[in-house]
Structure 1
Amino acid sequence: MNKTLIAALGVAALAGAAYYLTRPPQMTQAEAPAEGDALVTITQPETLSPEALMGSRAFDATCASCHGDNATGKMGFGPPLVHKIYEPSHHGDMAFVLAVQNGVRAHHWPFGDMPAQSGLTRADVGNIIAFVRELQRANGIE
């Protein structure tokens, strides 16, 4: 019985630590960006691959209105995708594909649910993913 209780407490502690380390940063009212402002500051890659360049155009046309220019997020609209929460080991490429196809229930950020997006081909989504991943790598998110 004691071993089971110790194991359960250990699992709970690990889950709590995982939540704490992956939660979005908490801001005070004084340091919160204004409505529509970028949520993070990023470093741009020196160059983009041809796929990422096409993805940048598709992102600007479809995603930037909520996720901000260069995926930096937009206060009051959508989260930054250049953030450790969206690193490939936590949100793999298929998570982005499914988000576009099916939408996403809010779970990491307080922006509400993301609706499914129409008008994007699988190739468009692949190029958007390439763009976001190159931005992430340029900012130390592997």
Structure 2
Amino acid sequence: MCVPVSPPTGARHLLRVLIVDDSKYCRLTLHAMLEAWGIECITASDGEEGFLKVLKHQPDLIITDLQMPVCDGFGLIEKLTDINDRRIPPVIVLSSNLSHFEADKIELLKRARFSLLKPVNMACLLGCIQQAVPELLNVPRNQA
């Protein structure tokens, strides 16, 4: 079932989001939807590339997959935690599996602002974005 979601008003590139996912399809889908909502997007295909883009572009929010080659989403969250001289952006985790992790992975997952299962309900994702960075998206709650 497809649920129509109206783009937030007044959100034209006030928010910069980094999308980190090894699936090109997921990156392109999220990028297209967020751009339609007036959100600037940067993409990366793994946690290492994502971390470098965090340092370079200083996004307001990170949306990351957990299971990726090179550096997974847990590794990205851990690297972000080690940044002491910068504001750490809130993280939204998107994953097809959010269970059966070891204790250390669960502790890292708790550092994410939200965790959502794939396939992602885009209305729910927009609601999470609004809650994660309300100061950057002045959108009434009933518009999502």
Normalising by structure 2, we get a TM-score of: 0.27
From the two aligned structures, give the one with the greater helix fraction. Answer: 1
From the two aligned structures, give the one with the greater strand fraction. Answer: 2
With a CA cutoff of 8 Å and minimum separation of 6, indicate the structure with the bigger relative contact order.
1
The structure with the larger Rg is: 1
